[in-house]
Chains A and B, each alone.
Chain A
Amino acid sequence: MLPENITAIVARNERWTGEAATEPHEVGWAKEAVFFVRALKKPVGKQPKGRVEISPDGIRWIAEGTEFDMPSEKDAIAAARLTNFGNWLRVAARFDDGAESTVLVTLHLKA
C-alpha cells in the first residue's frame, strides 16, 4: 500500500490580527510536513514573522524554531518545511495593532 499523504486546509479565509494561530492538527503519523500560508487579500500594515509551534498535548504550545516571513502581497505564499515534530503542529503569528492578513493555510503531510 502506498504511504499515506494528505492535504489539510487548517485555515481558510481567516482574517488574522493580534495573536493568531491555526487550529491544532494531529500529525503523529507523518514523517514530514509542509505548511503553506497564502494571503488571499492584500495584507494590511507591517507583516510579522510566522512561526511553527509544537505541543505535547494540543493545548500548550511552544515555538518549534522555524520562522518565515508572512506573505506581503495578495496571493504571495510563505512555506515552512518540517521534520521531527511529534504529534501536534500549528502555525502562529503576532500582528501589531492595525496590521492584518486574510490567510489560507495548507498543511501537507506525508507518512
Chain B
Amino acid sequence: MTTGLHGTAEALRLAIQRADPALSRFDPLPRIISFDNFARGHCGWSQLVGNYEDDLDTMLPGYAQHTSAMLSTLGHWDAGSHGGMDSSYALKVATRPIVGARNVAIKRHTFRRRGPIRFELYFTFKPEATELRLSETDVRSIGLLFDLQGGDRDGDSERVMPHLRFLNALDGQHVQKWQYKNETTNFVPIGTDNKTVSHYHLAPEGWLDLPDGGQRLCYNEIPTKVNWSYLRFDFDLESMQATGLQCNDRTFDLSGFDSIRIPSMKNLWCMLNFALFAETDVDKRAFLYVDSVCISGDF
C-alpha cells in the first residue's frame, strides 16, 4: 500500500512537473533547491571573488581576473539579439581577451541532508565575434564545479570539489572532450593573521580525460549563431561520489571520476556551492551563456 501511494504521488509529481512549460525540459529529483531562469534576474549567480586579507593585492591572480556575470540577450553585431530558449535573457560568463583567461560565476548554498543532488542546465558558448571567421577553436573550455563539505558532526567530513569541463580546444586544436580533475594547487597563507588561506583549484594543470569522453556539440556555422545544449551532473553527498553525467544525447562513464579532496576547513560545514566557468584559448573573450539552471535533490 505504501508503495502504491508512493507510486501515485510520484506519478502526480511528474505529471505536474511535465505540464509546467518552464520545468518540463528538466528531470529534477523530488525537491527543487533552486530553479534559475535569467529573465527573473541573476538568481544568485555572483562573481567568484578570491580570498584576501588587509590588501586586495594578496588575492591570487587566477581569482583577481574574475568579473561579475551579466544578464545577456546574446546581442550580435550582425544579427541583433539572439535571446534565450523562452525569454530574451541568459546568464553570461565572459573572460577577458587574454589567452588562458578564465571567469567563474558561483551560487552558494548549504545542504539539509547528505543525499543525491542533480545539477541541470541549458548552455551554449561562443567567442566574441571580433572576426568574420568560424572561430570554433577560440573557446578553450566551459565547465562546472561543486564545492562541498560535510556537516560539523560527520566523522568523514572533507572538502570535496568535483570539477568537469568540456575542453573544446587547446592550443588551437579542436579536441572536444570532457575532462575532470582531482588535484588542486598547494594552499598558501593569505595575509598575516593566520586565518585565511587560498588555493587555485582551476589551475590549468591536472585535467584528466573521461573515458570515451569525446563529444562533438552543435557549434553552428558562424560565431553569432548559437544552439542551446542540455547538461546534467549528478552527485551523491552521502558518499561524495559523482553518479551521472549527460550532455544532450550522450551519457558518460564516471567510474574513473574523482573529485579534488582536501581536509575539511573550519568554516565550511554543509557547504553546497555550484560554479560555472569559461576559459579562452586565444586573445579573445570567451562567453559561456546559460539559459536556465535547475538544481534538485532527494531529501
Chain A contacts to B: CB under 8 angstroms? 1, 4, 6, 8-13, 23-29, 40, 56-60, 87-88, 107
Residues in A neighbouring B188, C-beta threshold 8 A: none
> Could you tell me the distance in whole angstroms from the C-beta of B183 to the nearest C-beta in chain A?
28
> Could you tell me the distance in whole angstroms from the C-beta of B221 to the nearest C-beta in chain A?
19
Quick one: closest B residue to A14, CB to CB? B64
> Could you tell me the distance in whole angstroms from the C-beta of B157 to the nearest C-beta in chain A?
32
Residues in A neighbouring B172, C-beta threshold 8 A: none
A13-B64, A23-B96 as given contacts; A58 in contact with B56, CB under 8 Å: no
Q: Are A6 and B75 in contact (CB under 8 A)?
A: no
Quick one: closest B residue to A107, CB to CB? B68
Q: Cα distance A54–B280 when bound, in Å?
A: 24
Q: Are A13 and B70 in contact (CB under 8 A)?
A: no
Q: Cα distance A83–B76 when bound, in Å?
A: 22
Quick one: closest A residue to B63, CB to CB? A12
Residues in B neighbouring A4, C-beta threshold 8 A: 40-42, 71
Q: Are B67 and A59 in contact (CB under 8 A)?
A: no
Residues in B neighbouring A27, C-beta threshold 8 A: 70
Residues in B neighbouring A107, C-beta threshold 8 A: 68
Q: Are A26 and B68 in contact (CB under 8 A)?
A: no
Quick one: closest B residue to A25, CB to CB? B70
Q: Are A57 and B75 in contact (CB under 8 A)?
A: yes
Residues in A neighbouring B72, C-beta threshold 8 A: 26
Q: Are A59 and B94 in contact (CB under 8 A)?
A: no
Given contacts A8-B47, A12-B67, A57-B129, 20 further A-B contacts (CB under 8 A): A4-B41, A6-B41, A6-B42, A8-B68, A9-B49, A11-B67, A23-B67, A23-B94, A24-B285, A26-B71, A26-B72, A26-B73, A26-B92, A28-B73, A29-B71, A40-B56, A57-B76, A58-B128, A59-B129, A87-B75
Residue picked from A9, A26, A56, most chain B C-beta under 10 Å: A26
Residues in B neighbouring A59, C-beta threshold 8 A: 77, 128-130
30 contacts between A and B (CB under 8 A): A4-B41, A4-B71, A6-B68, A6-B71, A8-B47, A8-B67, A8-B68, A9-B49, A9-B67, A9-B68, A10-B68, A12-B49, A12-B56, A13-B57, A13-B64, A23-B67, A25-B68, A25-B70, A26-B70, A27-B70, A28-B73, A28-B75, A29-B71, A40-B56, A56-B77, A57-B75, A57-B76, A58-B75, A59-B129, A107-B68
| Top 7 A-B residue pairs of the complex, sorted by shortest distance between their CB atoms | A57-B77, A8-B68, A13-B56, A4-B41, A26-B70, A26-B72, A87-B75
> Could you tell me the distance in whole angstroms from the C-beta of A21 to the nearest C-beta in chain B?
11
> Could you tell me the distance in whole angstroms from the C-beta of B103 to the nearest C-beta in chain A?
9
Residues in B neighbouring A28, C-beta threshold 8 A: 73, 75
B89 within 8 A of A: yes
Which residues of chain B from 50 to 80 have a CB within 8 Å of any chain A CB? 56-57, 59, 64, 67-68, 70-73, 75-77
Residues in B neighbouring A40, C-beta threshold 8 A: 56
Question: What secondary structure prevails in chain A residues at the interface with B?
Answer: loop
Q: Cα distance A43–B68 when bound, in Å?
A: 25
Residues in A neighbouring B68, C-beta threshold 8 A: 6, 8-10, 25, 107
Residues in B neighbouring A57, C-beta threshold 8 A: 75-77, 129
> Could you tell me the distance in whole angstroms from the C-beta of A26 to the nearest C-beta in chain B?
5
Q: Cα distance A56–B130 when bound, in Å?
A: 13
Q: Cα distance A25–B72 when bound, in Å?
A: 9
Residues in B neighbouring A60, C-beta threshold 8 A: 77
Quick one: closest A residue to B75, CB to CB? A87
Quick one: closest A residue to B95, CB to CB? A23
> Could you tell me the distance in whole angstroms from the C-beta of A105 to the nearest C-beta in chain B?
10
Residues in A neighbouring B71, C-beta threshold 8 A: 4, 6, 26, 29
